[in-house]
Chain A
Amino acid sequence: MKDRAIDEILKKKAPALRRVDSALLDRVSSAVQSCMQPVRPLPPSWLLAGGLILSCASVALAGAARAGFFGVEKLSEIQRAAIFSSLGIFIVLAALACVSAMIPGSRSRVSPEALLGAGSVALLAVFAILFHDYHTNHFVHAGVVCLVTGLVHAVPAAALCWAVLRRGFAVDSIAAGLAGGTLAGLAGVTLLELHCINFQALHILVWHTAVVPVAGIAGALLARSPRNRADSGSRTRAAGQ
């Protein structure tokens, strides 16, 4: 059976448009009329994405300015170029994914799940290629400090991202949380790369990279909480006016 034959069958069997109860339409119209006000449409995607990128960069730079730019000073030119260009690419992609997730019916360039996976793997690959010191001094202690530092800086990045996108509406709150968490996690890793002087390969591969998936999963879990879902309606209502 050819596709055209299936098309014909589907067309024949497809239910026709039916009259909707006029009382229901009247009810909807009067509900809409009762709170009809002009609203300001969201700004273009590039502007929102730019705001997100700027927020993440500010958090990473402010954090590094406070703690010291020791890491970036110790990195070679090649290491700097490779690390910060890959972080930059993934921050741009994550910002675009965040904006898509917060605007219904927008084009989805990359799914947040794929972004989290690809981002983590790409960072692992870049770090594995660039760092070859396989000693492990204070692996857990130093690692936990870096992980916590990265996550602590991911929190204000996430808060700023939420502020930029507060007027949006997530049709899939988990995907939006995952994208937001990933973006915030990337801001945390950027800070670590600017600040951390521990260049042991395993330290960077495990603890620095872990900031991205941990922040991403935390974002998805926060967005998944029932309270958050119940609140989303009232938030969008307030933000829409």
Chain B
Amino acid sequence: MGDDMGLLAGARAGDGEVCANAPSPAGPDPNLDALMSLYQKGDFTAATVLIARLSPQLHRFFMMQFASRADADDLLQETWLRIHRVRHTYRAGEPVLPWFYAIARHVRVDHFRKASRAAAREQRLDETPEVAAAIPSVIPGAADDFEALLAPLPASQREVIEMLKVAGMSLEEVARATSSSVGSVKQKAHRAYENLRERLGGARLKKGRMGGLS
């Protein structure tokens, strides 16, 4: 119990920093495990600390797929509500991040399905292609450099790269979060790198030629 109190006190000290300098939960973090156990025991402070620590990361996870910040905010809220409902499915000793990301991924897929259904319905009612084209604001956009770089990759490869290279998760954690095997994650990452190599190599070559011409 003494350790728990120390853990919460330490976590509370950084509570105000819910931004770029929030401690990155990437990699194995025993504190998250202990916080989850306290959360399951009904400790509200532990829940608040978890929300503060993991929200920036989950928000970025949604922002990378959905151009709109409002969508990402909605999804983050929905994710925490779902996490709260199913918090009993976390077992002490298991990696925490894959558990959170698996639920966040589920919320994202649900949202995408609902948006697709809504888009299909509106298309049937109005029969105006302009309306249907305006709806997929949820479809990944090339808003920034990173998105533009990953945009040509298939969704499954993009997701693996985001988790591995942005969230800093291990192969094993990504496999757990995406309900697949480590081999499958490795294969997706390898294919994504092949695609990126081709794309970046092509861009560099083009740049070189342009430089040579000028």
Contacts and interface: CB of A to CB of B under 8 A. Distances in A.
A138 interface: no
A103 B59 CA distance: 23
Contact of A25 (B18, B20, B24, B172): B18
Contact of A17 (B24, B80, B197): B24
A53 to B, nearest CB: 20
Contacts of B204: 1
B60 A107 contact: no
Contacts of B175: 107-108
A5 to B, nearest CB: 8
Contacts of A11: 165
A68 interface: no
Interface in B157-212: 161, 165-166, 172, 175-177, 179-181, 193, 196-197, 200-201, 204
B165 A38 contact: no
A17 B59 CA distance: 8
A29 interface: yes
A21 B146 contact: no
How big is the A interface, by class? 35 or more
Residue from A102, A104, A107, A237 whose CB has the most chain B CB atoms within 10 Å: A104
A9 B110 CA distance: 31
Given A6-B196, A19-B18, A20-B18, A240 B179 contact: no
How big is the B interface, by class? 35 or more
Interface string A30-46: 01110111111110100
Contact of A32 (B19, B44, B88, B176): B44
B146 A13 contact: yes
A239 B89 CA distance: 10
A46 to B, nearest CB: 12
A171 interface: yes
Contacts of A171: 102-103, 105-106, 179
B40 A41 contact: yes
Given A6-B200, A107-B175, 18 more contacts: A1-B197, A13-B145, A13-B146, A15-B63, A17-B19, A19-B20, A24-B73, A25-B51, A28-B81, A33-B47, A36-B42, A106-B94, A109-B181, A169-B86, A171-B105, A172-B179, A233-B82, A240-B85
The 3 A-B pairs of least Cβ separation, nearest first, read A105-B99, A19-B19, A105-B98
